[in-house]
Homo-oligomer: A and B are copies of this chain.
């Protein structure tokens, strides 16, 4: 219980007045949106109505609330989590710069989960009306946006697999491998490691473990010379060893150079 209470999101929604107009020039392409066509990207930049700053644990969206905009993460990290009536909670996704955070809100209208910032974050906002306009102009663009959300769904599937079939140590290693790769793709992260803004309690919520057990497993990874997590920074000591322990295979991320063509 205490593990959970300490990370409750705040409800500092920050008014629309704080939108930074003219921030469009600051929208650079990294990570996932780098896969989009030039033409779609230009239209997205034109459709952006501004950026917004989020502080730690600021909630962006709440389950069940209708939404009219979708957000692209520019800086920082954002978590999406499911919580039931009993307060049991699990993170079901983690977004890095270049990820759309709630593009699925466009076809769905409202979300089934909450969305909140982990540390400081900056997002770009796109009105659903404008996105719908882009979709109706070009079905290729519609498919590109659809595809982004389907990669997100693929990641969901592998998170399910990770939690359901891997033991604590391989599961944590697997998660760290995924984030190491995604962080490097989004411009964060170097050969040495990457900045994962998570506490051990957060990691527990990602992997369906208790915070205490995460502490023990991280000690094992550390003692095993695989990686060290300190102050939110994951230092990779033995990437091959980590990948092997995790049984990590990045196919599910649908990276553009993985030998498959994206569409038929």
- Answer yes or no: A146 CB below 8 A from chain B CBs: yes
Q: Are B260 and A64 in contact (CB under 8 A)?
A: yes
- Answer yes or no: A199 CB below 8 A from chain B CBs: no
Q: Are A251 and B64 in contact (CB under 8 A)?
A: yes
> What number of A residues sit within 8 Å (CB to CB) of B?
61
Q: Are B161 and A84 in contact (CB under 8 A)?
A: yes
27 examples of A-B residue contacts, CB within 8 angstroms = A66-B260, A66-B264, A68-B264, A82-B158, A82-B160, A82-B161, A84-B249, A90-B160, A93-B157, A104-B153, A106-B263, A106-B264, A107-B146, A108-B154, A109-B260, A109-B262, A109-B263, A110-B260, A112-B254, A129-B264, A139-B142, A142-B143, A146-B146, A149-B153, A153-B153, A153-B156, A156-B160
For residue A100, give the distance in angstroms from its CB to the closest CB of chain B: 12
Which residues on the B side are within 8 Å of A112 (C-beta)? 154, 157-158, 251-252, 254
Q: Closest residue to A132 on the B side, CB-wise? A: B139
For the complex, give the distance between the alpha carbons of A110 and B166 in Å: 25
Q: Are A163 and B163 in contact (CB under 8 A)?
A: yes
Which residues on the B side are within 8 Å of A1 (C-beta)? none
Which residues on the B side are within 8 Å of A90 (C-beta)? 160-161, 164-165
Return the contact of A88 from the options B80, B247, B261 (Cβ within 8 A).
B247
Which residues on the B side are within 8 Å of A251 (C-beta)? 63-64, 112
For the complex, give the distance between the alpha carbons of A207 and B182 in Å: 28
For the complex, give the distance between the alpha carbons of A249 and B83 in Å: 11
